[in-house]
């Protein structure tokens, strides 16, 4: 594991000059030297990473996913996230362009952005769930980064931090808007994910995995669908108005209703069979969703 606590430390690793500010850095991707003898390794950072890149004739692997940078792709990483990247071909042959901004949490400490940044779900997405920008969107993002870069290279004064943070907020707000557009334009593919998720849950209950493994979790679903938990929840929220956990609850209640109305199993047997550790938890969720206790629901069929 290579963990880089400071931006300066990572600059040194990349073979770049020291950053102009210890807590923020703006890097031209084309200026990053090729990493000779690079070997795949786990990496994590003690700072935020915001990147928009075009890398022609260049492919990378992120986990089991091939990742093509030929279009403008924007990606985000929060501090302490772990990534493992393997380069497929010779980086020196690739045409690289774009920008990377590194921001240490101390730079935004005690500002409004320090609280707001946690509300942007895309910092918890995986690299292969990046934001694919249109030419117009990429131009807009690059213009904001140009403003940040200009201020980064200017003489530091009492206005510098405030101005850079205001541009960062604009950058993140536009990214949020463009991700929203991406969820809409990929509606067909997203509904296919929804269908796959329903199949995963159906299999989970049909094979009675809940009785041995407990309740299905968002992490379990995300892994089965090759998505990050946060991306899955945000996508489902956009499609249906419900996040992943709410979908799991809906399927649990539907399966509970089926067993209450078609079997002679006791309420306790049904609860434990669905993966609940405590009967009270099952009864509470069931009543919250149906306005009836499990026994009241069963009685309504007699």
What is the Cα 77 distance to its own chain's centre? 9
281-292 average pLDDT score: 95
Residue 235 CA to its chain's centroid (Å): 10
Q: Which two tokens stand for residue 274?
A: 């669905």
Name residues whose C-beta falls within 8 Å of residue 166's C-beta, 6 or more positions apart in sequence: none
pLDDT computed for residue 261 by the predictor: 93
Asked if residue 129 lies in contact with residue 179, where contact means CB atoms within 8 angstroms, the answer is: no
Overall residue count recorded for the chain in this entry: 302
DSSP state of 228: -
pLDDT tens track for 37-68: 555 567 889 999 999 987 654 455 444 445 44
What number is the average pLDDT over the span 190-205? 93
pTM beyond 0.85: the answer is no
Could you tell me where in the chain the CATH 1.10.10.60 domains are found? 188-299
Segment among 10-19, 257-266, 293-302 with least mean pLDDT: 293-302
The whole-number pLDDT of residue 20 equals: 94
Q: Are 211 and 273 in contact (CB under 8 A)?
A: yes
**pLDDT-based confidence at residue 186 (cuts at 50, 70, 90):** confident
Measured at the CA of 121, the angle between CA 120 and CA 124, to 5 degrees, comes to 120
- What is the C-alpha separation between 302 and 292, in angstroms, rounded? 15
- As annotated, the residues of the chain forming the CATH 2.60.120 domain(s) are 2-185
DSSP annotation string for 274-294:
TT-S-HHHHHHHHHHHHSS-H
Give the β-pairing of 95-103 and 24-28.
antiparallel
Return the pLDDT at 118: 92
Tens of pLDDT, residue by residue over 287-302, are: 999 999 999 999 987 6
Sign of CA dihedral 70, 48, 173, 179: positive
Average pLDDT, integer, range 141-163: 93
| Region of residue 80 (phi > 0: left; psi between -120 and 50: alpha; otherwise: beta) | left
Q: Is the pLDDT of residue 1 over 80?
A: no
Q: The domain 2-185 is classified under which CATH number: 1.10.10, 3.30.70, 3.40.50, 2.60.120?
A: 2.60.120
- Asked if 112 and 35 touch (Cβ cutoff 8 Å), the reply is no
Parallel, antiparallel or unpaired: strands 2-4 and 41-45: parallel
CB-CB contact of 282 with 274 (8 Å) = yes
Dihedral angle over CA of 19, 20, 23, 28, nearest 10: -60
Which CATH architecture fits 188-299?
A: Orthogonal Bundle (1.10)
């Amino acid at each position: 594991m290579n963990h880089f606590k400071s931006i300066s430390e990572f600059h040194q690793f990349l073979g770049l000059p020291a950053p102009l500010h210890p807590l923020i850095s703006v890097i031209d991707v084309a200026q990053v030297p090729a990493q000779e003898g690079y070997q795949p390794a786990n990496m994590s950072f003690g700072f935020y990473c915001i990147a928009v890149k075009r890398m022609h004739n260049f492919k990378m692997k992120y986990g089991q996913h091939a990742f093509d940078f030929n279009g403008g792709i924007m990606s985000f990483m929060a501090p302490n996230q772990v990534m493992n990247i393997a380069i497929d071909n010779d980086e020196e042959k690739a045409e690289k362009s774009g920008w990377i901004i590194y921001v240490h949490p101390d730079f935004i400490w005690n500002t409004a952005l320090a609280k707001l940044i946690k509300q942007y779900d895309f910092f918890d997405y995986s690299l292969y769930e990046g934001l694919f920008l249109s030419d117009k969107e990429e131009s807009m993002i690059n213009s904001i980064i140009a403003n940040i870069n200009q201020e980064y290279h200017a003489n530091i004064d009492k206005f510098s931090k405030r101005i850079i943070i205001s541009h960062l907020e604009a950058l993140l707000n536009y990214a949020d808007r463009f991700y929203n557009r991406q969820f809409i334009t990929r509606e067909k593919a997203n509904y296919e994910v929804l269908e796959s998720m329903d199949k995963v849950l159906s299999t989970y209950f049909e094979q009675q995995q809940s009785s041995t493994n407990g309740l299905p979790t968002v992490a379990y679903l995300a892994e089965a669908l090759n998505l990050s938990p946060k991306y899955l929840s945000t996508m489902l929220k956009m499609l249906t108005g419900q996040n992943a956990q709410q979908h799991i609850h809906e399927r649990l209640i539907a399966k509970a209703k089926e067993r209450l109305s078609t079997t002679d199993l006791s309420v306790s047997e049904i609860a434990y069979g669905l993966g609940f550790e405590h009967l009270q938890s099952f009864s509470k969720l069931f009543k919250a969703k149906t306005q009836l206790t499990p026994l009241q629901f069963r009685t309504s069929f007699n």
